[in-house]
Every structure is written in structure tokens, then in C-alpha cells.
Amino acid sequence: MRDHAMVGLSRRGWLLGAGAAWLASLARADEPRDIDPEADAKAIEEQAHKAGLAELSWIESPHYRVIGDAPEVYLKLTLADCEAVSDDFFAYYRAQGFEVERPKNRLMAVAFANLKSYAAFLGKRPDSANGGRYDRTSNRLYVFDYRPIGANLNLRAGHVNQVFLAHEAIHQLAFNSGMLDRPGDIPRAVSEGIALYGEIRKPNAPSPPGLLNTMRLTDLAHKQRVIPWIPLPRLIVDDGPIDGKAGFDAMILAYAQSWLLVYHLMKAPDLLPKFRDYLKAIRPRRDSKNRLDDARAHLGDLDRLDKDLRQLSIKLLKAS
């Protein structure tokens, strides 16, 4: 794992000076907006206090601030992992011709000690909380340490921590680097596909996005025995399957197909420049009415692309 300079751990006192007016707007707003880092930190402490969490600590590096009730060792691990994911993201996508730039301000990550505190902070039941999230409105990354419950779930908790953090950190990077626009209309298949494309990483080593995601590949095989393939035009226009509105099996299949879509667009030399142009074209979009037209204009015949994706899935499954 690469080292980055870290500013020392601190306690209460670093949150003083933030404005109450911003906190009131945070409770009302539901659109992405520019956020003052110190006011955001104050808002996090206020929300943690209301949720009954223990006193928060923080630590920061050149590009991130990590705040949470987690032990110092997990805060440091989260910070180092965020920096590693960020380094790999920018190196990889710049090499692929994407115009991505590091954000001017440090990105905010909130690291929780366990599932209980994560769920309490977000106002969720523990059994309904997932392993992490990136919130476009607040621009925060949320993660929690799976290790306290990993053994009970028969999980490799360290690996689960790494996958969830990488997935959500890439969401945050994509929306803060110029690749995607936070207020924009982005098909979930595209935004999730980009995160899925980079969620698999090698432990303690540089890991550029694009490693084969065997977990999602397995989902492609298993879920198609239960439900039919989701046609690509629907996947682009309709966020419902990824949002879980078509049922659990459809959601898992939609995620897997979204990974396959971005994997194909990034790996095929003739499609890569088209994908770059497509992402530029959808940046100014604020509603979903142009989704099909944009995709067809830049990615070509979607029915043909859909057939190519199905053939690629078969090829990858046979080779795995």
C-alpha cells in the first residue's frame, strides 16, 4: 500500500466556526451543490451526535479528509486506500485519453466503526444498510468496517472492505474529476458500470481499473438462469432494475450487465473514443429525455452492441 503524508489525528475543536445557515440548507436541499469543507465537517458531527455515535476523530492527507467514530487504525486504512484508489484512477483514465482533474478541495469520507453506527448515522435499520455509499448531494463517501461481523457472515471481511471502498470511492472520483457531472442526468448503468469496472483491486499493490470482475461475471451466469437478459436500450433508459424496482434478481443482473457494458467500452479499441465522447455529450444533460439519442449518436446501434455484450459474456465465462 502506498504511503501518503497524513496530518495528525484530532478531536473536537477542529469543527468550530462553521455556519448554522449552511446546516439548515443541508436538511432542505436534495440537489448537488458546492460545499464548504469546514461546514460539512460540522454537519457530520451534528448528525453523528443526533445518532448517538461516540466522539468523532479525523485524519487527512493531500486529497482526502476521513472523519468517523472508527478506531484510528481503520481511519488510517481508509485514508490510505482512498489515496491509492485515487492515484490509480487518475493515472489510468488520463492514459486512456480522459480529461480528468483532481478536485481543488479534499474529498470527504466518513468511516464508521461498524454496521450499527453506519446505519444509525444514515437513519437506516442495520439489516437494510449496504456496505457503503457515495451521496451525490452531500458529496460524501460513507464506509464502515466489516471486520466485526465478517466471521458471522462467512465473509473475507478485509476483501469486502476493499471492494466496497473502491466502488464508492470511484463514484466520488468520477463525479469530482470532470468525468461525470454531479447535477447531471447519468444513466445508472453508466455510473454504476464505471464504479464496478474499478472495484476489484489487488491487495497492497497498484491496481488500475479494468481487472476482470469475476464476481459480476458469475452473477451474469447465475441470474440469467432465473430471469432474462435486460436489453441494453432498457438498461440505459430505465434505472429501475439497478434501483431494485424490478426485484432482487433483476438488480443483481443489472449491476453485472452494467459492469460488462463499461468493461467492453473501455477494452475495445474502436469503442473507447466513442465512450469518451459519449460521456462528454451527457455532461450537460439534466433530464432523461435524451438518453437513447445520446447513446445511439455516440455508441452506435444499441441492438448490435447488446448482441456483442451477450457474446462477450459467453466468451469471458468460458475463459474463466
Q: Which of 148, 183, 218 is the last residue of a domain?
A: 183
- Same-domain pairing of 80 and 213: no
Count of beta carbons in the 10 Å neighbourhood of residue 233: 16
154 DSSP 8-state letter: T
Going by C-beta distance under 8 Å and a sequence separation of 6 or more, which residues neighbour residue 297? 281
* Sheet containing strand 107-112, strands side by side: 7-10, 57-60, 64-68, 107-112, 140-144, 132-135
Q: What is the pLDDT of residue 29?
A: 38
φ, ψ dihedrals at 238, nearest 5°: -110, 110
How many separate domains does the chain show? 2
- Same-domain pairing of 253 and 304: yes
- Same-domain pairing of 308 and 212: yes
- Same-domain pairing of 296 and 154: no
138 DSSP 8-state letter: T
Identify which of 36, 38, 47 has the alpha carbon closest to the alpha carbon of residue 16.
38
Identify which of 80, 68, 72, 85 has the alpha carbon closest to the alpha carbon of residue 195.
85
What is the pTM for the complete model shown?
0.87
Q: Is residue 162 part of a domain?
A: yes
Q: What is the pLDDT of residue 33?
A: 61
- Same-domain pairing of 95 and 36: yes
Amino acid at 207: S
pLDDT one-digit tens code per residue, 48-63 = 999 999 999 999 999 9
Q: Is residue 23 part of a domain?
A: yes
pLDDT one-digit tens code per residue, 167-221 = 999 999 999 999 999 999 999 999 999 999 999 998 888 899 999 999 999 999 9
Q: Is residue 292 part of a domain?
A: yes
Identify which of 126, 118, 133, 101 has the alpha carbon closest to the alpha carbon of residue 52.
118
- Same-domain pairing of 166 and 50: yes
- Same-domain pairing of 164 and 79: yes
**Whether the predicted pLDDT of 1 surpasses 50:** no
Q: Is residue 2 part of a domain?
A: no
CA distance 79 to 67: 10
**Whether the predicted pLDDT of 320 surpasses 50:** yes
Q: What is the pLDDT of residue 22?
A: 27
From residue 80, alpha-carbon distances to 3, 6, 62, 119, 205 in Å are 7, 9, 11, 24, 12
Q: What is the pLDDT confidence band of residue 27, given thresholds at 50, 70 and 90?
A: very low
Q: What is the pLDDT confidence band of residue 150, given thresholds at 50, 70 and 90?
A: low
- Same-domain pairing of 174 and 51: yes
- Same-domain pairing of 251 and 160: no
Q: Which of 151, 183, 215 is the last residue of a domain?
A: 183
**R_g over Cα of the chain:** 20
CA distance 310 to 146: 34
Q: What is the pLDDT of residue 248?
A: 95
Q: Is residue 1 part of a domain?
A: no
Q: Is residue 40 part of a domain?
A: yes
Q: Please, what is the average pLDDT of the chain?
A: 87
Percent of the chain with pLDDT over 90: 77
Work out the angle at residue 132's Cα, subtended by the Cα atoms of residues 60 and 92, and round it to the nearest 5 degrees.
65
- Same-domain pairing of 169 and 269: no
Q: What is the pLDDT of residue 129?
A: 57
Q: What is the pLDDT of residue 173?
A: 98
| CATH number for the domain that contains residue 110 | 3.40.30.160
**Whether the predicted pLDDT of 277 surpasses 90:** yes
Higher-pLDDT residue of 157 and 245 is 245
> Of all helices (H) and strands (E), which one includes residue 50?
helix 37-50
Enumerate the H helices of 51-71 as residue ranges: none
Return the bridge partners of 140, or none.
108, 135
Q: Please check whether residue 217 is in contact with residue 279, taking contact to mean a CB–CB distance below 8 angstroms.
A: no
Cell 462477450 belongs to residue: 312
Q: Is residue 49 part of a domain?
A: yes
Q: Which of 123, 149, 183 is the last residue of a domain?
A: 183
- Same-domain pairing of 171 and 270: no
Q: What is the pLDDT confidence band of residue 2, given thresholds at 50, 70 and 90?
A: very low
Domain span at residue 271 reads 206-319
Q: Is residue 199 part of a domain?
A: no
- Same-domain pairing of 155 and 219: no
Buried b (16+ CB within 10 A) or exposed e, 206-219: ebbbbeebeebbeb
Count of beta carbons in the 10 Å neighbourhood of residue 240: 16
